[in-house]
Amino acid sequence: MNKVAFHTLGCKVNSYETEAIWNLFKQNGYDRVDFEQDTADVYIINTCTVTNTGDKKSRQVIRRAIRRNPEAIVAVTGCYAQTSPKEIAEIPGVDLIIGTQGRDRLLEYVAQIRAERAPINAVGNIMKTREFEELDVPNFMDRTRASLKIQEGCNNFCTFCIIPWARGLMRSRKPESVIQQAEKLVAEGYLEIVLTGIHTGGYGEDLEDYNLAKLLVDLEKVEGLKRIRISSIEASQITDEVIEVINRSEKICRHLHVPLQAGDSDVLKRMRRKYTVEEFMDRIKEVRKALPGVAITTDVIVGFPGETEEQYMNGYNFIKELGFAELHVFPYSMRTGTPAARMDGQIPEEEKRARVAKLIELNQQLTVEYATPFIGDVLEVIPERPYKEDPTSGKLMGYSDNYLNVVFEGTEDMIGKVCEVRLDKVGSEYCEGTLVRVLENVKNGQNEEQAV
């Protein structure tokens, strides 16, 4: 049996696409082996290019695969492959470069390379692509939540971001295809589906008379689906219609990831973001009215070119006032080819590190403040794995619908089931709880009610 190994760099969309590519190989009789430990016949490296460091890491992994088995076919896909195919082609031993489109032909290319032993560069002009690439994932390794990619590409062209050039313009998956895949995932036993994409909240912008709000309404009708989680949505895309749907929904999770990027309107303008801090605050207030107790998580870029100490503190105070449930904090990292890389006022690395550290400290405070009011409440938690700090402790870890990471005593057969857990103690890394009862079994879809 042929063996294939994968290495994924970058975002959750890349992870989803790696699983989809693995499904193609599995259907064609391949066995999946560990990238670092085993020798494979085909190596697939799914690359990232969001920063210059991402490019460097991608090249390192490519060379590592070539060294592991010089006779293997080495295929490079993903964002770095899309933006810099010539750089990759200069690495001796690379057989296939395929970018971020047309990956359904991977097996065909592998067969051609085996027959001809000639490298293939299959990267096309992504900016001309208008069709969504259908790559399904029927099930996920070691996952109790299923991801469902609903769109590709981005039309925003933020000044710090290379992604539109790596992923192309907005392309939405056809609604009937989304619903069909959701039904398949529920049939496989998944109770929670995470809607994902490069610019998830922009779903439907390229469709006629259909948008994210309408998709959420249609997904609500999928029998057996218990949770719908939106991986990320821009503040400018939280429309009144979306808020109305959230308000009526019984399945949309009390968790929205809404990227802020900067808490100062002048910095946001230089980033070419489509909102002011006042507009951002207004949208979050409306969401909280529609979905009481909602966890709002966000991304923040620290040290954007020209960001003064005053602007940074404006952002710090805005974040504190808004009360996010969790922050993902990143120092600005220069990406060659973006307008921000050419801007004056680049912030010294030492200053960026200091600003990041201060926000991370604030994050720990905000996380505890968000979780504290839920102490004593019984939450529905789907445990995903044994407690990572001590897998033999008899404890499980999983997320509530409002994105609290909860640890509680349980047995491994509870993994993937909906459990009612009383929240006893909160912390910045995880919360602690007590199992009340098991409600449902993800794997067979049968309802269970087991008091503890």
Domain ranges, ordered by start, for the chain: 3-124, 131-256, 258-370, 375-451
And the tokens for 49? 């290019």
Do 69 and 36 touch, CB atoms closer than 8 A?
A: no
The more confident residue out of 6 and 145 is 6
- The total of other beta-carbon atoms located within 10 Å of residue 260's CB is 25
- For the chain, the first-to-last Cα distance in angstroms comes to 46
pLDDT over 70 at 261, yes or no: yes
Rounded Cα gap, residues 192 and 227, in angstroms: 4
User: For the domain 375-451, what is the CATH superfamily, name and number?
Assistant: Nucleic acid-binding proteins (2.40.50.140)
Q: Is the pLDDT of residue 221 over 70?
A: yes
pLDDT score at 143: 65
Assigned CATH class of 131-256: alpha beta
User: Which amino acid appears at position 80 of this protein?
Assistant: Y
Output the pLDDT for position 390.
77
Query: pLDDT digits over 171-182, tens only?
Result: 999 999 999 999
Residue 139, pLDDT above cutoff 90 = no
Round to whole Å and give the CA distance between 369 and 367: 5
Percentage, residues of the chain above pLDDT 70? 96
DSSP β-ladder status, 405-409 and 417-425: unpaired
* Cβ 45 vs Cβ 74: under 8 Å: yes
CA gap 135, 427 in Å, rounded: 38
In this predicted structure, the answer to whether residue 448 has a pLDDT above a threshold of 80 is: no
The confidence band for 446, taking pLDDT boundaries of 50, 70 and 90, is very low
Instruction: Please tell me the predicted confidence (pLDDT) of residue 442.
Output: 46
Q: pLDDT-derived band of residue 83, with 50, 70 and 90 as boundaries? A: very high
Name the pairing type of β-strands 295-302 and 252-257: parallel
Residues 182-193: what's their mean pLDDT? 92
DSSP letter (8 states) at residue 52: H
Average pLDDT over residues 115-140: 92
Q: At the top level of CATH, which class does the domain 3-124 belong to?
A: alpha beta
The 10 Å Cβ neighbour count of residue 103 is: 22
Q: Would you state the structure tokens that stand for residue 300, as one six-digit string?
A: 């923040």
Written as one string, the DSSP assignment of 284-328 is: HHHHHHHSTT-EEEEEEEES-TT--HHHHHHHHHHHHHHT-SEEE
Mean pLDDT of 113-139: 93
Q: Quick check: 451 pLDDT over 70?
A: no
Predicted pLDDT at 138:
84
pLDDT digits (tens, 9 = 90+) for 98-116: 999 999 999 999 999 999 9
Q: What letter would DSSP give residue 124?
A: -
One fold for both 258-370 and 375-451?
no
- What average pLDDT does the segment 380-402 reach? 89
Residues 6+ apart with CB under 8 A from 62: 45, 47, 74, 76, 88, 91, 94
pLDDT digits (tens, 9 = 90+) for 274-308: 999 999 999 999 999 989 999 999 999 999 999 99
Predicted confidence at residue 1, as pLDDT, reads 78
Token code pair at residue 415: 């993994």
Average pLDDT over residues 320-342: 96
Q: Which helix (H) or strand (E) element contains residue 79?
A: helix 79-83
- CA angle (249, 376, 419) in 5-degree steps: 55
* pLDDT above 90 for 420: yes
Contact 202, 151 (CB under 8 A): yes
Numbers of helices and strands, H then E, in the chain: 13, 19
Q: What are phi and psi of 261, to 5 degrees?
A: 75, -45
pTM more than 0.75: yes
Those residues with Cβ within 8 angstroms of residue 204's Cβ, 6 or more apart along the chain or in another chain? 172, 210, 211, 212, 214, 215
- 334 pLDDT above the threshold of 50: yes
pLDDT at 314 over 60: yes
How high is the pLDDT of residue 141?
A: 64
441 has a pLDDT exceeding 90? no
pLDDT above 60 (res 142): no
What are the φ/ψ torsions at residue 296 (nearest 5 degrees)?
-105, 110
**Which fold, 258-370?**
Transcription Regulator spoIIAA (3.30.750)
Which strand ranges, in their side-by-side order, compose the sheet holding 252-257?
A: 171-172, 145-152, 192-197, 227-230, 252-257, 295-302, 326-331
Q: Judge whether residue 444 has pLDDT over 60.
A: no
**Which residues in 326-373 belong to E strands, given as ranges?**
326-331
> What does the alpha-carbon distance between residue 341 and residue 101 come to, in Å, rounded to a whole number?
27
